[in-house]
Amino acid sequence: MTSKERFDLTVSHKQSDRLVVDFGSTSVTGIHVSTIDNLRRFYGLEQKPVRVTDPYQMLGEVDDELITIMGVDTVAARGRKNGFGFYNHEPFKEYLTPWGQTVLVPEEFNTTNDVNGDVLLYPGGDTTASPSGRMPVSGYFFDAIIRQKPIVEEELDPNDNLEEFGLVTEGDLEYWATTSQKARATGRAVVAGFGGTALGDIAHIPGIKLKEPKGIRDIAEWYMSILIRPDYIKAIFDRQSEIALENLSRLHKVTGDNVDAVYICGTDFGTQNSTFCAPEQFDDLWLPYYQRINNWIHANTRWKTFKHSCGAVESFMPHFIKAGFDIINPVQINAAGMDPVHLKKTYGKDLIFWGGGIDTQKTLPYASPQKVREEVLRLCDIFAKDGGFVFSTVHNIQAGVPVENIVAMINAIGEFNGNS
């Protein structure tokens, strides 16, 4: 069975010959670039600079060698530009990270250091603009720099928060046609990150790709606006989803069935112990716009729709289903109420659980390899029954995770699949 065939069965809630595995197809199922390097060293692969696929989180490329070793069934169809707004593909240049690793980055990955030694990254790679990302001197990824201008209530205009959401260009369409064809040729399931459909994703609110972001760009101010300016938020979501539908129509014409799943939105609705808002507020503020996007996709394409939300979101699962999402990620099993048995039994016929294969807060970074093995086998036994489960970790694998634990996870997947 090919990876594509295996994926098609799994997302149809049918049992395949083995687990579908994803590492690296999205910005929330990736591996830190330093950890990629450690894996390559462990497996005796050629030592070479690892490509940075996501500068914001400093995620590394899971290349063909690691894909084979890790049994990966998915492939990313990435956009032309990254979160900082500059071209994210070849030609690359070498860059020495603060932790001493030489990596490959796009040509416009231009940095400076502030007086504290923190690394600053710039919108569009333009060092004459104000920096929009900061990597602390002891850090491993960038944080957004908040560049909120003073808010004058009567002058707030929803269009200011729509600056980064425009219609795709002919160049974009040509790019996506080629990229999706190349991804399909791998024989793996293709996950596309078209962009433009993130409704209030905090990773995008600060506008790190914009040189002078206008509107509400402070994260705390945005969360307060959900309560005190709901009409403003709705106006943004309404126009954003209209633009998204036009873009999706154009993109479908050039990509068609070369895409299997589409990353729609990474807006988090959960904390470790609760939710950011009540389900009723979700229904009022987000549901109509999610339905608009998902309904169009389901009516016009064969794509599955991918929703990311960290945290204790068990109470939101019926609402995610109502919104039309096919896939829920990262399935944060260590958050309150996120019991794997309950999730599978209650929502497993309606939702595909993409993630939840191992806890990345405690088990993977801090437990023994044996404990890692035991947790992987237990969770796979729960989630994989009757399909509807794509193995990935609970969010990205970060820097500093013991390589022995990652290998134990990989070996446990193989063991579950009957390879050992």
* pLDDT one-digit tens code per residue, 294-333: 999 999 999 999 999 999 999 999 999 999 999 999 999 9
For residue 178, the 8-state DSSP code is H
Q: What is the mean pLDDT of residues 34-57?
A: 98
Q: Is 278 exposed, middle or buried (0-12, 13-18, 19+ CB in 10 A)?
A: exposed
User: What pLDDT sits at residue 420?
Assistant: 46
Above 80 in pLDDT, residue 6? yes
Strand 133-135 to 143-144 pairing: antiparallel
- In this structure, are residues 49 and 103 in contact, taking their beta carbons and an 8 Å threshold? yes
Residue 84: pLDDT band (50, 70, 90) is very high
User: What pLDDT sits at residue 419?
Assistant: 74
Above 60 in pLDDT, residue 248? yes
Find residue 306's DSSP bridge partners: 263, 327
- In this structure, are residues 268 and 309 in contact, taking their beta carbons and an 8 Å threshold? yes
Of all residues in the chain, what percent carry a pLDDT higher than 90?
A: 99
Task: Report the mean per-residue pLDDT for the chain.
Answer: 97
Chain position carrying tokens 């507020």: 281
Sheet holding 111-113, edge to edge: 111-113, 119-121, 133-135, 143-144
pLDDT per residue over 85-115, tens digit each? 999 999 999 999 999 999 999 999 999 999 9
Domain membership flag for residue 287: yes
pLDDT per residue over 271-298, tens digit each? 999 999 999 999 999 999 999 999 999 9
Domain membership flag for residue 52: yes
- In this structure, are residues 170 and 71 in contact, taking their beta carbons and an 8 Å threshold? no
Domain extent for 315: 3-91+148-416
The DSSP H or E segment spanning 220 is helix 219-228
Tell which residue, 319, 308, 311, has the closest CA to residue 282. Answer: 319
How many residues in total does the chain contain? Answer: 420
Domain membership flag for residue 97: no
The DSSP H or E segment spanning 308 is strand 304-308
Strand residue runs (E) in 132-197: 133-135, 143-144, 189-192
* Residue 370 CA to its chain's centroid (Å): 29
Chain position carrying tokens 């190349």: 182
Strand residue runs (E) in 115-184: 119-121, 133-135, 143-144
Residue 252: count of CB within 10 angstroms of its CB: 20
Q: What is the mean pLDDT of residues 71-84?
A: 97
pLDDT per residue over 356-413, tens digit each? 999 999 999 999 999 999 999 999 999 999 999 999 999 999 999 999 999 999 999 9
DSSP three-state, residue 97: coil
pLDDT per residue over 24-43, tens digit each? 999 999 999 999 999 999 99
DSSP three-state, residue 291: helix
Angle at 24 between CA 45 and CA 135, to 5 degrees: 90
- In this structure, are residues 191 and 74 in contact, taking their beta carbons and an 8 Å threshold? yes
Q: How many domains does the chain have?
A: 1
**CATH number for position 181:** 3.20.20.210
- In this structure, are residues 353 and 388 in contact, taking their beta carbons and an 8 Å threshold? yes
Angle at 185 between CA 308 and CA 58, to 5 degrees: 40
Domain membership flag for residue 187: yes
Domain membership flag for residue 117: no
pLDDT per residue over 173-228, tens digit each? 999 999 999 999 999 999 999 999 999 999 999 999 999 999 999 999 999 999 99
Domain membership flag for residue 367: yes
For residue 270, the 8-state DSSP code is B
Domain membership flag for residue 122: no
Domain membership flag for residue 340: yes
Q: What is the pTM of this model?
A: 0.97
